[in-house]
Chains A and B, each alone.
Chain A
Amino acid sequence: MDFATLLQMLDATLRLATPLLLACLAGLYSERAGIFDIGLEGKMLAAAFLSAAIAAVSGSVWLGLLAGIGASMILSAVHGLASITFRGNQLISGVAINFLAAGLTVVIAQSWFAQGGRTPQLTGDARFNPIQLPLAETLQDVPILGPIYYELISGHTILVYVALLMVPLTWWILFRTRFGLRLRAVGENPAAVDTAGVSVIWLRFAAVGICGILCGIAGAYLATALQAGFVKDMSAGRGFIALAALIFAKWRPWYALYACLLFGFLQAMSLRSDVIEGVVGFQVNGQFLDVLPYILTVVILAGFVGKAIPPRAGGEPYVKER
């Protein structure tokens, strides 16, 4: 594998890791606040559909992004209603949300666009287009660093940079602000937070809301940046890989970045089986690479490498003592 191919692979890694990262951070907020969310997949899918649909109709990708976030937020509200207000089972609610999104997107897409459950192809301003960072062209010929800057760092859509910036921002919010402290506390010991006079309900809804926004961006990225339009089931298990990454990262933002880059790299490898064959010398089953994130996460869970301990109050509805 030469340098140019490596750069291409890493470039693809970054593009494929972006939706994972956004969804993973979304799950991070929710689960740190004690609300398990296995509905990341469904929220991404709903956002992907509505963002592509609105972008196709209006011609503006920004309106599409807003619509995508809106769709994801509605599902977040359902999840919040079920798991916070009515103290239902958070996992069952997540399952329901996944199916709701999987079914509704196709039903609505079919009756709206009549293209077999797709949206029309997006072109021009209806998509997020790559941004050329300053001086990328001129520095292109500098040895090693030039191509790295030009190929790898420059030339992505704005959402890739947004996702990367979300990592330090999330770290700062969670570990350096009062809101973050309370959010983490509500996931570990909600009764203590309640005793301190802070509303557990409100905090958890805030966390679920942030989760909705990030999932919305992740979904919009899938349909308007990574690909040009919505197709049925296009989230393709990414929400679950993000969930695996979250466990892999042990619910910490910077580790989430590394986990998502690793899983993104595995996805990039499964797309370029020719390159892999050249390096390792034998054919690697692409399906195997696709499920490697899950296998790695199970290994982590089995306790062979460190121990993944979820937030203590995760999955438990909070009942005030009476």
Chain B
Amino acid sequence: MDVMPKWADVVLIPVISILLAAILSALVILAIGENPWEALKLMVDGALGSTYGWGYTLYYATNFIFTGLAVAIAFHARLFNIGGEGQALIGGLGVAIICLFIPWPHWTFALLGAAIGAALFGAAWAAIPAFLQAKRGSHVVITTIMFNFIAAAVLNYFLIGALKAPGMEPATAKFPEATHLPSFQDMFNFGETTFFRGAPANITFFVALAACVALWALIWKTRLGYEIRSFGHSETAAKYAGISPTKIIMVAMLISGALAGMMAINNVQGEAERLVLNAVEGAGFIGIAVALMGRSHPFGVLLAALLFGFLYQGGAELALWTSIPRELIIVIQALVILFTGALDNMVRMPLERLFLSLRRAKNDGRTV
């Protein structure tokens, strides 16, 4: 029997962790001479106070859903994919090639093509670290870190070489009109009132939602998902049950890379409509915080991604109106990773003790 009820594990611990992170962040804001309460109000107002703010929040959240799901599926196989950043960069390369060189008749086909391209490129970039882990036992964390740097160099090579558009900037040409995805502004335009005006959120958000559902079904409703989870719980037991570790490591990492790569249909095809240097802007790493906070569950990831989307857009507003730099978001992200990931036991152990003593008290009451 578990020490704690399930709701405590799923809800209480993440909430306490996020509160701890919030308190420390508030202290940081206090220390640099700003008012944390005012800062929070500014953030809420900037990120959720208008459809424009929501448009940005949901745009960022879309990125984080993809990278968060990527980290989450790897976590289920007890693999830590830090390479989301590089996989998303290479996914962007795939999107750029597909949008630039194939004459798409309509955006629906372009979206399908780009999604497949992004997933294939992202998965390919995860394949080598996965292979080294499966066959050579080289730690996937180390290799994926290195592949992030190599990806940046590859992208740089293409953007100053083969794919560079005329001009000074290391970027590709603008994608053709037919590949442009409908933004929320196009989709929620009701004549007089236009919602989400000028915000980058686009149809990819719904693709991300579909990815959440698909991944949930994969993990909990298919044989493959079962194999991945059992491998994550105990490698020896999984082996005994006839599950091939090589297969699980490869498949989990390929799905992970494909999901990270698919982020590119949001930021490259949906927003920028061309490929620029450093297109991912750290979203690959935020996926780690998102997956940890979401407890590697697709719906948890969705909620955590929305929270980080809010933090990201709110942080941008803060940097605009106060002297608090945007990097505060990186601090919050670090604290979330620290408390929900590394210091999990610090929150968990006292809670477990509390629940144990509560249960004991209850049992004692019954016997007397």
Contact = CB atoms under 8 A, between A and B. Distances in A.
Interface of A: 38, 78, 81-83, 86-93, 95-100, 102-104, 106-108, 110-111, 114, 117, 237, 240, 243-244, 247, 285, 287-288, 290-291, 294-295, 297-298, 301-303, 308, 310, 315
Interface string B312-353: 000000000001110111111111011001111110010000
A294 B327 contact: no
A240 B149 contact: yes
Contact of B80 (A91, A295, A301): A91
Nearest to B128: A298
B341 A107 contact: no
Interface stretch (B45-53, B62-70, B140-148, B242-250): B140-148
Contacts of B345: 86-88
B342 A93 contact: yes
B342 A310 contact: no
A295 B80 CA distance: 20
B288 interface: yes
B335 A88 contact: no
Q: Which of A38, A97, A301 gathers most chain B CB within 10 Å? A: A301
Contacts of A104: 28, 331
A27 to B, nearest CB: 11
Contacts of A78: 338
A86 B153 contact: no
B327 A237 contact: no
B150 interface: yes
Contacts of A102: 327, 330, 334
A78 B132 CA distance: 31
Contacts of B108: none
6 contacts: A83-B342, A88-B342, A92-B341, A103-B330, A103-B333, A107-B32
Contact of B136 (A243, A285, A301): A301
A157 to B, nearest CB: 28
Nearest to B80: A91
A92 to B, nearest CB: 4
Interface residues of B, number: 47
A315 B80 CA distance: 12
Nearest to A82: B342
Contact of B337 (A96, A244, A285): A96
A308 B329 CA distance: 37
A103 B327 contact: yes
B139 interface: yes
Given A99-B330, A103-B330, 9 more contacts: A82-B338, A83-B342, A92-B342, A99-B285, A107-B325, A110-B325, A117-B325, A287-B152, A302-B132
**SS class, residues of chain B in contact with chain A:** helix
Given A82-B338, A95-B337, A244-B146, A107 B328 contact: yes
Given A108-B32, A301-B142, A100 B342 contact: no
Given A240-B146, A297-B146, A111 B342 contact: no
Nearest to A239: B145
Contacts of B330: 99, 102-103, 106
Contacts of B136: 301-303
Contacts of A288: 153, 157
A219 B87 CA distance: 29
B292 A92 contact: yes
Nearest to B32: A111
Nearest to B140: A91
B365 interface: no
B222 interface: no
Given A107-B331, A110-B323, A117-B325, A88 B344 contact: yes
A301 B32 contact: no
Contacts of B292: 92
A74 to B, nearest CB: 13
B234 to A, nearest CB: 15
Contacts of B324: 107
A82 B339 CA distance: 9
A162 to B, nearest CB: 27
A269 to B, nearest CB: 15
Nearest to A303: B136
Given A88-B344, A95-B337, A103-B328, A291 B143 contact: no
B236 interface: no
A198 B285 CA distance: 38
B255 interface: no
A117 B324 CA distance: 11
Contacts of A297: 146
Contacts of B156: 287
B5 interface: no
A14 to B, nearest CB: 23
A107 B28 contact: yes
A97 B339 CA distance: 11
Nearest to B156: A287
B335 to A, nearest CB: 7
Contact of B334 (A90, A103, A308): A103
B82 interface: yes
B194 interface: no
B337 A99 contact: yes
Given A291-B149, A294-B149, A302-B132, A92 B337 contact: yes
Contact of A107 (B146, B327, B343): B327
A61 to B, nearest CB: 26
Contacts of A86: 342-346, 349
A82 B340 CA distance: 11
